[in-house]
Amino acid sequence: MRLLSSMGSAKEIQQYLKRFSQLDAKRFAVVKVGGAVLRDDLDALTSSLAFLQQVGLTPIVLHGAGPQLDEELAAAGIVKQTVDGLRVTSPQALAIVRRVFQAQNLKLVEALQAVDARATSILSGVFEADYIDRDRLGLVGEVVRVNLAPIEASIRVSSIPVIASLGETAGGQILNVNADFAANELVQVLQPYKIVFLTGAGGLLDGDGKVIDSINLSSEYESLMAQPWIEGGMRLKLEQIKRLLDGLPPASSVSITRPAELAKELFTHRGSGTLVRR
Ligand code: X2W
């Protein structure tokens, strides 16, 4: 157990394991995995997730595919256009979006199975969505209802649900949904004990490119957002995390870390990456 030795003391880990094992199994953790992590850090991701399963915990994984979509759409000659950070998605683009999400989802499921972890591919049936603004964004959705049944079925057999952020309208039209938005909706419904965003950077970065240990939104949000070094992506992320935490019980928190640090984040007091509290 190489992962364990790089974490905390055995006693500390046992305390957390005991606490988690007493929870409702489906509320243990939601882990959002950005597309860049699937591309650059798949081995660390799969070993961290497999480790959780070995100790009897089943995280719910929701993934994006942003960089892969950029690449495949560009290869098809579709010029990238975004509105407020959301990808304008035409019918031609959607066909590629669906194919890329499916490929990335299966890549993660197969990588988990290759290290003897049980994982279930969930490409549809979780997010009922509606158009955000059909004229400006095209086939892009916001989640209007979350159906937990496919997730619960997977967790009942201790298989890690691996969910793509595609939505479906009541009329059956598939829509492209931003993966952070989808994660937020899932979290509001599940109210999980742990919420983790896995990113390549391993946390929110300060002006010198160093990971910020912790952020207390109630006292720091306004001053952070006013910093000149807060860039587009991080600004959007922080805004979303604030919105997410506003809808959760006051003691909730969100961790942003990298895949290799996932177990440390979950099983030690000190954690790793950036811890955001309300
Ligand atoms: C996103 C879905 C993928 C995503 C997109 O098309 O890029 C919209 O913008 P990451 O890797 O988590 O960023 N959807 C509507 O969010 O992936």
Structure ipTM: 0.99
**Which residues lie with the beta carbon below 6 Å from any ligand 1 atom?**
34-35, 64-66, 69, 86-87, 140, 165, 176, 178-179
* pLDDT recorded at residue 78: 98
Report the nearest-CA residue for atom 6 of ligand 1. Answer: 87
Ligand 1 centroid to 85 CA: how many Å? 9
**Measured distance CA(239)–CA(215) in Å, rounded:** 13
Q: Which of 37, 84, 105, 176 to mutate for ligand 1's pocket (most ligand atoms within 8 Å of CB)? A: 176
Ligand 1 centroid to 229 CA: how many Å? 23
**Measured distance CA(78)–CA(75) in Å, rounded:** 7
Per-residue pLDDT band at 232 (split at 50, 70, 90):
low
**What torsion, rounded to 10 degrees, do the Cα atoms 96, 98, 99, 100 define?**
80
232: three-class secondary structure by DSSP: helix
Task: Tell me what the mean pLDDT of segment 241-255 comes to.
Answer: 90
Ligand 1 centroid to 269 CA: how many Å? 32
Report the nearest-CA residue for atom 2 of ligand 1. Answer: 178
Task: Tell me what the mean pLDDT of segment 210-230 comes to.
Answer: 91
Report the nearest-CA residue for atom 14 of ligand 1. Answer: 178
Task: Tell me what the mean pLDDT of segment 81-87 comes to.
Answer: 91
Per-residue pLDDT band at 209 (split at 50, 70, 90):
confident
Ligand 1 centroid to 144 CA: how many Å? 18
6: three-class secondary structure by DSSP: coil
The two tokens of residue 254 are: 């969100």
Report the nearest-CA residue for atom 7 of ligand 1. Answer: 66
Q: Which pTM was predicted?
A: 0.92
